[in-house]
Every structure is written in structure tokens, then in C-alpha cells.
A and B are shown apart, each in its own frame.
Chain A
């Protein structure tokens, strides 16, 4: 009974939100060019299913490409920064400063360098999502217990040994946790770039729809992005649980 409620709760909340939204739109007679009702959004979504899916696929692939680069680069920088106190000190201010730059302000630069299209969107997705991976991997490595390091060093373990046997496995929960954050950020990055500098993707679709005051289509785009974000988040949450069950131990239940 209680378990069922816990499982159903997220669906109920979503359904409730759409219901409230519909009621507000109908009840207050909100004009469609301000806030379209979910039913209107749904109608547009069905009518324009194919173009929406085409743009969604573009955004999805762009996001995944940027995310993949972010994971690879984030892992490398995170490993370097996390296992060397010198690099940690040397690189951190730069990384933090870089992360503080609003990525939307950087898109025009990317356009100058790479032209309008998919490349700036991939790079924006990458730039916005690699930082959490770096921070988490570095934290996981840097918080290694010194006694454990002594045990291994006294056995003659090299730095690579310590990294491989202890550092990386220990950092994995941090790493997988960061993937969940990074994938949602990657969607933010690719859509931002598409709205400014692309003629493909959900971002572009929303931009062109809003310029023709087609608000139901804009909202359909928003919902598609949201759904893709949730699905990917859940996917990585599942992977995290599978890969690092030992970190989510609960008494009585082996991983």
C-alpha cells in the first residue's frame, strides 16, 4: 500500500500539475498566445509530431555528443586534479572562473569559430556539463583516507596502482552522481545554442514558433526537452545504482 503510493507519487504530481494548468487556462479564460492549455499543446504535438520528433532527435544526439565529450574530458581533468595537490591548487581557480561564465554569452564566440549549426551546440553542451564531472571525480580522489594510502605505499604500490585499486573505485559513486547532473545540464547547453545559432533542434523549433506567436508549439518543445531530461536522468540513476551498489548499502540488503 505504502510502497505503491511511493511509486505512484511522481506520476500523480505530474498529472496534478497538468490538471491544474488546464483548469487555470479554462477557468480564467487565458488567451492562447499567453499560456496555452495542455490540451492545446497536446493537439499541436499530435499534429506536428513528425517535425517535433525530427528536431528532438537532433537535440538528443547533439546533447549526447556534448555529454560524451564532457564525461571523457571531465574524467581526465578530474583524475589529474584529484590525484595531484599541486594541479588541484593550480587549476581550480581557472576552472571555477571558467564555469562562472554564462555559457549563453560564449555561444557567439563559438559561432564565429565554427559557424552556425550543430558544432556550437555540441560544444555548449560540453562546456556547461563537464564541470560537475571534474569536481566530483576530483573530490572522490582527493578524499582518500591517508592511512589507506600508507598501507598501499608501504607495500610498494605506485601512484597508478593506488589510483586503479582504490582511488577510482572509491570515486565511482561521486562520478555516477555527477553524470545525473551533467546530462540535464547538457540539455540546457544544447538548447541554448540552438535557440541562438542553429536551424535545427528543439531550441530552433521553439525560437521560430515563438516568433510566429505559435505558443502551443513552444510549450510542446519545452515538454519534449523536459521528458528527455527526466528519461536520461533516470537512466543514469539506474546505472549508478547498478555500478555502485556498495555505496548505497542498506542493512540486510546486499548490493
Chain B
């Protein structure tokens, strides 16, 4: 039973205009970690908008959890390359933001504030931000802001986490730290992840399945399962099998760019 399903999905931003993505079909199991890679401007972010219900397809069908998507879904958490924390809120209050919007938290927030706050603090501690709860975003480093942003995406326990190049603006070491953070979060308490990235090592290290998209209009060219044992350690990125996967995907991307 698939959790996210695309059936021959097209999307044109303007009616009758050029397609951003074309004839995309994919299947994501519940709890699966999926990465989507492709050249820039290939419609990866469009894919996210379709799944979260922020955009309706121009053709084809999008199903999430067995139902056709007809509007914004509330079982989704999102994080982007820019952490987008609100500068007038502390880290803790930033993480709590979704609870002020999503039911059933919204209506119980006043009564259960203490409990929810404890949960948020616990989540922050899990990503290594214990002690930073009452700091303002500008007092945090870029990597810490991104950790907080991912906490904000997870606080309402979404079944689907969507990440749009969340580590794209970080330096190489911080990025690897955050891979491990995301891996641990996902392994402790599985949820479905769709990660859009153009870092092939990131995709192979984290994902169960990698999809390669073509340039505009975006189509799915390859679906590759990553058969590396879990839990994966950073050392795995130096093995031949890992390099093999990255190499193979790189060739597909190379072909896309040349075409």
C-alpha cells in the first residue's frame, strides 16, 4: 500500500503554458526515505508543492494516504534551504508555531502548554539544541537555525516530512552533522521523508530510494533503490559501494545536462 502516489502527473503554472513537470509517476511507502535529485530548475520544488497540496496538478492524480489531494494537507511538515525562523520569537516559540495552527494542538494549547513545551524542549534536545531554547534565531549559527527549522517541521508529528534542499546553504562539515541528525530523528521515530536535493552523496547516504529527474519539463528518469545496511554511519560514504551509487547517479545527471 503506497503512502504517496503520483499517477501521470503534469503541472503547468499558467493554464496552457509550459509544463514544469510532465508525466511523473512515483510510489512512496509509509516510512520510506525518498530523495529526489536533478539539475536545478527541474521542478523538484514543484513536486513538493503538489504533494503538500499547495498546487493542484494540471493532469493526472496525486494521492496521499489513499486519498486524492484536494488542498493543503495537515499531516505534512516542511523545511527549506532558508531556515525562515521568525526573528521576534525565541527558538522554542518558533518550534511551537505549528501547534498554534494545527488541530488538535491548536484548541488544547492553552490547557496543555506545559506538556507541549516539554515536548518541544525534548525535540530540541534530540537535535542538540538543549540550552538554546530561549535564544533568538540570530543568536544561532546557520546549522543550528536549520536544526530548529527541522524541529518546527516535526513538532506536530507529521506523517510526511518534506525537505527542500535543507542543507544547501551549510558548510560541508555542518552538512554531514545534520545528515546524521536527520538520520537519527528518522530512525528513532520513523516517518515518511521526501528530500529534494542536488547533493548526490546526501541522497545516497540518507535515502532508501533515489529518483533522478530530467531538466524542465521535469520527468522521472531513474528510480534507484539504495541497498546499504542501516543504521548507516558516515564511514559508509567512503566505501566502494557508496561511491558506486553516487557514480551511477552522477552519470544519469550528466546525461540529463548534456541532453
A and B are interacting partners? yes
Using a CB–CB cutoff of 8 Å, the interface residues on chain A facing chain B are: 145, 147-148, 150-157, 161, 165-166, 169-170, 172, 244, 246-247, 249, 254-255
Q: Is the CB of B98 within 8 A of A155?
A: yes
Interface residues of A, dominant DSSP:
helix
Question: Is the C-beta of B226 less than 8 angstroms from some C-beta in chain A?
Answer: no
Greatest chain B CB density within 10 A among A150, A154, A157, A244 is at A154
Quick check: which of B7-15, B78-86, B140-148, B229-237 contacts chain A, the rest being far away?
B78-86
Q: Which residues of A contact B138 (CB under 8 A)?
A: 249
The number of A-B residue pairs with CB atoms under 8 Å apart is: 65
CA distance A172 to B89 in the complex (A): 14
CA distance A65 to B53 in the complex (A): 47
Using a CB–CB cutoff of 8 Å, the interface residues on chain B facing chain A are: 49, 52-54, 72-74, 76-80, 82, 84, 86-88, 97-98, 100-102, 136, 138-139, 152-153, 156, 164
A246-B101 CB under 8 A given contacts A154-B54, A154-B78: no
- One of B86, B87, B88, B102 near A156 (C-beta < 8 A): B102
Chain A minimum-CB-distance residue to B73? A154
Q: Is the CB of A154 within 8 A of B72?
A: yes
Greatest chain A CB density within 10 A among B54, B88, B100, B156 is at B88
Q: Is the CB of B54 within 8 A of A169?
A: no
For this complex, 19 residue pairs linking A to B, each with C-beta atoms less than 8 Å apart, are: A145-B84, A147-B80, A147-B82, A147-B164, A150-B49, A151-B80, A154-B52, A154-B73, A154-B74, A154-B77, A154-B78, A156-B101, A165-B101, A169-B86, A170-B88, A246-B87, A249-B138, A254-B139, A255-B136
Q: Is the CB of B102 within 8 A of A147?
A: no
Q: Which residues of A contact B72 (CB under 8 A)?
A: 153-156
Q: Which residues of A contact B54 (CB under 8 A)?
A: 150, 153-154
Q: Which residues of B contact A151 (CB under 8 A)?
A: 78-80, 84, 152-153
Chain B minimum-CB-distance residue to A255? B136
Q: Which residues of B contact A153 (CB under 8 A)?
A: 54, 72
Q: Is the CB of B74 within 8 A of A156?
A: yes
Q: Is the CB of B102 within 8 A of A155?
A: yes
Closest 10 CB pairs of A and B: A154-B52, A246-B88, A147-B80, A156-B74, A148-B84, A155-B101, A157-B101, A246-B87, A154-B76, A155-B102
Q: Is the CB of B52 within 8 A of A150?
A: yes
Chain A minimum-CB-distance residue to B100? A165
Q: Is the CB of B102 within 8 A of A166?
A: no
Extra inter-chain contacts (9) besides given A147-B164, A154-B54, A246-B87, CB under 8 Å: A147-B84, A150-B78, A150-B80, A153-B72, A154-B76, A155-B101, A157-B101, A249-B136, A255-B136
